[in-house]
Structure 1
Amino acid sequence: MRPDLYLQNAGRRYGLRGPWVLRGVDLTVAPGRLVRVEGANGSGKSTLLRLLAGIDAPSEGRVTGRPRTAYVPERFPPALPFTAAGYLTHLGTVHGLTRAAAARAAGEWLERLGAAAYAGTPMARLSKGSSQKVAVAQALLGEPELLVLDEAWTGLDTEARAELERAVAERTTAGGSVVFVDHDPRRLAGLPDATYAVRDGSLVERASAEPVPSGPQVTIEVQGPPDGRLPAQVHASVSSAEETSPGRYRLAVPAPHSDVVLRALLTARPPWHVASVVQREDTPGSRP
């Protein structure tokens, strides 16, 4: 298993005498964790994410335990001398994939994000939304151990936003970690393992608050094997799990994560029996 990522007394400023953007930051990101970062505009959120992603080095302190990392920046440069598929294939080889595997992964992610029709389009001619889909795809095609997302949902259409949420669930279920910033407080509401706020150049962990409405939910009724214990991957992706009778559970799952939960249940050994799957209206979500 990959090591934890540590920021130890990390600080960052630009220029030898520039003001400190961040200082005294201590943060541990363990495998399988989903971490949300909040803060006002200009507070240093993006600087923190750049430190985590290895884009910037700390001006003081250190970062240790570097996993394989992929990053979706707040602003993605679209005017690159590639087609969408060509750029993704090139990035896939940088991530260590063979060219054939990189081309295959590029096609799969463009399809998942609804951008397959633009595979042969030069990057400079892509719309902002399509360019953002390529930005997301380049981070996901190498199956990173740490995924860093800086306002990655901005500019995506509804289907692509849901697909990115599904990809986040897949990464954490597979043991990867995800750190994200998003302006929408409902984004992945109820699911982060920890939420931090950047304030006055410092990082503080936010105490658990009242649940935030989390968007469309799916109720899944399942019957388990004799031991009746839900797979760990399921616990990582549900809003709540209620045991209604021995070995039988009612799961509340954010709609974008339902495929991940169902796959984990049906591929468990022994598999779980799925009794029903029902879409329901928005409800507040909370972790079990």
Structure 2
Amino acid sequence: MAVFEIYSLPALYRYKSSIWSKASLYVLAMLCLTFIPPLLVAYRSQGFWMTTNTYLEQPDVAYKKQLLFVADLATPGDFFAWSTYANFNNLLQTNLRVPQVTSYELDSNNDGLNDQLSLNISLPLSSTEQVVNVQLIAVFDYKLYRMSTFQMESIVYVAQSSPLSGSSLKVIGDLSLHQRTPLYHRGTDVRYNGSVINSNSYFASDYDIFNILESYSSRNITTRLENSYSIWTPGRIPSQPFLFNMTLKYPTEIITYQPGFWELVKWGWVQYASILLLFLWVFKRINRTVFEGNVFNTVVQQPKVKLVKGF
């Protein structure tokens, strides 16, 4: 009857020696050379520690129905302005011109998050008043939830000027997140949830657009108008108001954050283990050659042979 190999086990040879021997020192040196160099290689390859990581998230954005609108006229020094802040309106005196404002937000995919804002401003003008420059600041509540719970009050700034007086300005763009520093990986982050515009102030400097933008830009995390397109329509029928129309989209953002401890360990282990496998394979072959060749004096314990009865 023909006999076939159906299963096999490797023979185990044990090489024994005293602690203070050349063989023991060799094994200790091989262990160090096997496990320490992969760590150094992984660390020096600039990929061992993950200092930042990214993920995608659509922010929860809500227009707070707070804005500041300034329209400069063709006559130098003349302007009209209006805001949702009573103290600023009181400071304007004769430069106050109340427009008609409408706005609505749209959730196009019914996921519970707003996708865009439509803002329309109609500024009444006399037949001799001509608008050559427009500036607007709109205020938003901006939230993220996936990693840390992040919330801040943010703004978008729109500015457009022309040597020709205009009848309307149309703007379309994205409310985009700008980060100088990564977010936290967990917890609640409300460090930038304070008011961008101090509505309780009675000083005109607190409502100056440059001062507002200068203070806002000092934040490490802000929003800005990006991917924007604007159309300035020159000429205006004397009886018609100046029209400002803005469509602002809330896109999905690439968020940068600081990884937590266990994510760092997991990423570091992947880098280390991929190199360690190669070192284990190489030094396993070296050690087998050394001990099978009796380079060091050791006591060899051979495997016991069991006789199996034939069929």
Structure having the higher helix fraction is 1
* Larger Cα-atom Rg: 2
RCO higher in 1 or 2 (8 Å CA, sep ≥ 6)? 2
Q: Same fold per TM (> 0.5)?
A: no
TM-score normalised by length of structure 2: 0.21
